[in-house]
Structure 1
Amino acid sequence: MSLLPFERNTLASPAWFVPYDDFARKVRGTGVSVLLDRFADGVWVPQDTAAVRTPSAAIAYPGLGARAATGLRHRARFEAAGYRPLYPADGEPFDATTVGVEFSAAPENTPEPRLVRLLPSAEFPYPPGVRTVHGVVVDAATRSPVANALVEARGRTSVDLVPWQERTLTGELGAFRLALRWDGEPGEGNTEVFRLEATERPGRTGSLEVRLPAGAATRHVIEIREQ
């Protein structure tokens, strides 16, 4: 997403964030709050610096870099009802322990806008008619729930073979609810087969096959283990 020229000229910010609704596939301009922390003496300290929203839906912290010492670390944490933020940038490995987007509040920083994807949570109000499956992600050894695990399904549409992807993040008790809006692999007896993959961090993953429509009401359990 590009910023309007006057936004760049009037807002000097060491970080720019663009909240993106991963389910709707569009920028989310409302209903998102941002919490800012500063790293000091080995701990993250909440800050009262207010974020500014630009006309193009970006979130910035004008003047923060000018007031900060070079290399001072900050992080931004995002909240939106019905969503959970996916903090690693596109192409970065996922880690459930990542708490926010870190950045250096230095005067010389001139960053590009950073897309922050908001994934549906287990409580997300899916529109009527959207097909979903639900369940829980647990540690295979301890059976403890895995919070903030990434649950995904991928495939291709049956007609034009366009790749599709659905994603969600588990809640604090490991629960998930995932939309399956596109076609699965053909199965026996008029069923569709979907492969759900769960990731806690690189090397700790799990997977499960789901067959619809029979498995729509089942509470599916995905076990995470070292790979």
Structure 2
Amino acid sequence: MNPSSQDPLSTQAAAGIEALVARLRDQGVQAGQARAQQIEAEAKHEAARILRDAEAQAKAIREATQREVDALRKGGEEALKLAMRDTILRLKAELSDRFSDEVKRLIATKLEQEQFLEQLILEVAGQARASAGVGTGQAVEIQLPKALVDPEELRRNPLELREGSLSHFVLSLAGNLLTAGVTFGVAAGPDEHGLRIALKDKDIVIDLTDETIAAILLAHLQPRFRAILEGMVT
């Protein structure tokens, strides 16, 4: 066969092949591009999802951390308030106790002063004498603090007592008060300060000791002192 007679067919076949190859190539390129675009879109979508999840997780962590911080701060504030309240209560209690102790100390100190006791004895003796009445037989005993009056001294001759002493003062009054049924004795408690008035016929003892006087005064003064504390320490 003459080669020249196949040239048109060969050329046509070659052209067809080239066209097919070109079409396949174009289709492959288009498919590749489409796939690449799809992959890119999926990657962007996935990246957006990951970013949203990360932001949501970060927000959740921030909120949880903030809640924990708020809880810790609130707990700290409550603990601080409680500590401050307890401190104030302890301070008020301590100041109140010190006030009571100071009142008791001042009363005990005053009742240890013989000059004050002499005035108190005169007042009590006068009241007892007026209440008893001469000749009524009412027995009243004024009991003196053992720390300031020695029972042995009261049994001595008044001339042997030191002038100006409490014992000397008491014995100087005793003679004038006996007719009214008023006598003197010594309290049993060695640490007591002040006086006791014993109405023997009625078995009644009236305390004018430091403890009793302090209790009466504190019942009146403590509420006022607490009110002052409330205004100063809140």
Structure 1 and Structure 2 fold alike (TM over 0.5):
no
Query: Which bracket does the TM-score occupy, shorter chain normalised?
Result: under 0.3
Rg bigger for which structure? 2
User: What is the TM-score of this pair, normalised by structure 1?
Assistant: 0.19
User: What is the TM-score of this pair, normalised by structure 2?
Assistant: 0.19
Higher helix share: 2
